[in-house]
Structure 1
Amino acid sequence: MSDANQNGNDGKKTYHKKATGNALNTVKKHSKEHELKLFGSCFCPFVQRVWISLEVKKISYQYIEVDPYKKPDSLLEVNPRGLLEDLNNGEALLPPDSKIRAHSRLWTDHVNRHVIPGFYRFLQEQDQGKQVEYAEELKTEISKLVDAADKNGPFFLSDKMSFVDIQIAPWIIRLNRVLKPYRGWPEPEPNTRWAKWVDAIEHNEHVQATTSTDDLYLDSYERYAENRPNTSQLAKAVNSGRGLP
């Protein structure tokens, strides 16, 4: 795909505007008119968080594909900022025990404050020396999360997917589909707790149902890997050292 219309550079890959593979099949199943509408961009991990939640909870909804660079008025009426943000659909996925709920919220905050910014910092960095530094930082933040998880798993709290798993799942699948080809991110070491968690996420039916083919992510994230101007509000925030927008 050419990015000539976006940046005037022939031969550049551009973001996809329609889901593919399993995700496309799920889109077709949820194309009928419904009062609950999920405005989504097929490559957006924040949208995938909500999408996985809806699938896990078996909530009826209508999926509406949105070009994040050409947002329709129907989205702006709902969200004037035009961000494709999370719907508040996570509470039911938190455990009833107050201590475990607090534990889950604490480590969700860790994902948002450290893992996700670290992912983009590493991906967007053009200096190879700093890439090595940022790769180690990301590994450290992931290790902290793994150490806080249930020792048996394979998910964060137990053998069932819960809130924290959904918060990090879109980035786990992008490690192999984005960071590996663009930055040489390594496969998990066999028989480790991290490998067990990654495998559980990759093979979860709800994650698979909302995941497109690998080429969609490879093409859509080239602009991040090259740190092109005007890539996204998130990319701009990471470049300026700020947190998630």
Structure 2
Amino acid sequence: MAGEKEEGLQLLDLWVSPFAQRCRIALAEKGLAYEPLEQDLSNKGDLLLRANPVHKKVPVLLHGGRPVCESLVILQYLDEAFPETPALLPSDPHARAHARFWADYADWKVFECGTRLWKRKAGSELQLQARREMVEALRILEAELGDKPYLAGEAFGFVDLAIVPFAAWFLGYGRLGEFSVEEVCPRLAAWGERCGERESVARSLHPPEKVYEFIGYLKDKYGDK
């Protein structure tokens, strides 16, 4: 699908960022070639600061040098800028709204609880509260999954690619919170493995053990002492 319109796609990302990973999965699903530009968030460069002066974070999609910030905005942009490629969002307005809702839910609940799990002191009431909220959030996602093979239904879709990067963090969340996602939410764990068999996902995510090592780095550097 290479062509003039596709030229100049670059993604400012970080290997472990679930938000950058969802963009990588989306680009792969749409068959769009791009140049990955790994960023050092401990020493942010001029390109990132110019491209995203408000939040100063990844991911940022550069299309012909023009930046598009925030991962869910990037996904919608890809659908609108490249309508000839497979659509990420469903065509039905209600289904689109439903998919956006659950993608937002993962961002403000799952990721936020996960951050508190590694940031708060082990065994503290704040961490125990984060654990309770994380387990509840995962169970809510599992209830939404139900007996479907994918969150989007019978086929892998927008909501799956938006949420599956968090599956690589399940191991770390469980170890920090002293629970097993496989035991607490077996269908959700199986969904993560099922999505991981897809080429676009397999190429974009990293082994849970490697992600857990990164969580340890975050905890040592930024966690409560």
- TM-score, normalised to structure 1, is 0.70
Q: How far did residue 117 of structure 1 move?
A: 0.5
Q: Separation in 2 of the partners of 1:133 and 1:190?
A: 17
Q: CA deviation at 1:59?
A: 0.9
The match for 2:189 is: 195
Q: Cα 1:223–1:191, aligned 2, differ >3 Å: closer, same or farther? A: closer
Q: Deviations over 1:7-64 (max 9, x none)?
A: xxxxxxxxxxxxxxxxxxxxxxxxxxx5110111112221111111111111111111
Residue of structure 1 equivalent to 2:142? 146
The partner residue of 2:17 within 21, 37, 44 is: 44
Change (3 A) 1:191 1:147: closer
**Corresponding residue SS for 2:36:** strand
2:32 is equivalent to residue 59 of structure 1: yes
> CA shift at 1:183, angstroms?
4.0
* Runs of 4+ off more than 6 Å: none
* Separation in structure 1 between the aligned mates of residue 98 and residue 12 of structure 2, nearest angstrom: 30
8 Å CA contact 2:113–2:134 kept in 1: the answer is yes
What percentage of residue pairs aligned between the two structures are identical?
A: 24
Aligned match for 1:97, one of 74, 92, 97? 92
* Distance change in 2, residues 1:157/1:116 (3 Å): same
- Please, which of 170, 182, 189 is the counterpart of residue 165 of structure 2? 170
Please point out which of 128, 135, 142 is paired with 2:131.
135
CA deviation map 1:108-147 (0-9, x unaligned): 2211221210111122221414333321211111222222
CA contact (8 A) 2:142 2:185 kept: no
Q: CA separation of 1:40/1:214 partners in 2, compared to 1, >3 Å: closer, same or farther? A: same
- Distance, in Å, in 1 between the alignment partners of 2:53 and 2:151 is 34
Q: Distance in 2 between matches of 1:161 and 1:139?
A: 24
Q: Which runs of 5+ in 2 are unaligned?
A: 1-6, 60-70, 80-86
Aligned to 1:218: 212
Deviation at 1:83, TM superposition (A): 1.0
Whole-Å Cα distance in 2 between the matches of residues 215 and 146 of structure 1? 23
Residues in 2 aligned to 1:203 and 1:99: alpha-carbon distance in whole angstroms: 28
* Structure 1 residues 189-236: Cα deviation after superposition (integer angstroms, max 9, x where no partner): 39943233122133222121012345542332213334x34x8xxxxx
Is 1:125 the counterpart of 2:107? The answer is no
- Comparing both chains, which one has the higher relative contact order based on Cα–Cα distances under 8 Å and sequence gaps of 6 or more? 1
Q: 3-state SS of the aligned residue for 1:63?
A: strand
Given that residues 152 and 158 in structure 1 are in contact (C-alpha distance below 8 angstroms), is that contact kept between their aligned partners in structure 2?
no
Higher strand content, 1 or 2:
2
Match of 1:83 in 2: 57
* Partner in structure 1 of residue 65 of structure 2: none
CA RMSD across the alignment: 2.5
Q: How many residues align?
A: 195
